[in-house]
């Protein structure tokens, strides 16, 4: 019983130490990020775009039509091959 409780105390102390180190590293990271944030400069003021470039509906519809036509032609070719080989 004594060995188990001693083992539990050792594990508990290791876990507490790991947690403490994690908190310290987190605070160091927060400080570092806040220091680096001071060096960020605004180059230009954000504005709205003059014209949209996407979605281009005409191009999308054309692409979908070509893909569907290709799929249809492949399927029809397969059906024709199967019909010719039935004889």
> What pLDDT, on a 0 to 100 scale, did the predictor assign at position 27?
94
Predicted confidence at residue 44, as pLDDT, reads 75
Rg (CA), the chain: 34
* Token representation of residue 10: 């050792």
**pLDDT for res 42:** 65
Average pLDDT in the 8-17 region? Answer: 87
Percent of the chain with pLDDT over 70: 90
pTM above 0.85, yes or no: no
What are the sequence ranges of the domains in the chain? 1-38, 55-87
pLDDT (tens digit per residue) in 31-42: 888 887 766 666
**DSSP annotation of 49:** -
Tell me, what's the pLDDT at 78? Answer: 96
Dihedral sign computed on CA atoms, order 57, 58, 63, 64: positive
């Amino acid at each position: 019983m004594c060995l188990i409780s001693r083992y539990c105390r050792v594990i508990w102390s290791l876990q507490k130490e790991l947690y403490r180190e994690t908190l310290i590293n987190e605070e160091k990271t927060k400080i570092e990020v806040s220091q680096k944030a001071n060096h960020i400069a605004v180059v230009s003021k954000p504005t709205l775009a003059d014209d949209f470039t996407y979605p281009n509906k005409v191009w999308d519809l054309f692409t979908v039509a070509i893909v569907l036509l290709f799929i249809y032609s492949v399927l029809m070719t397969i059906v024709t091959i199967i019909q010719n080989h039935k004889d």
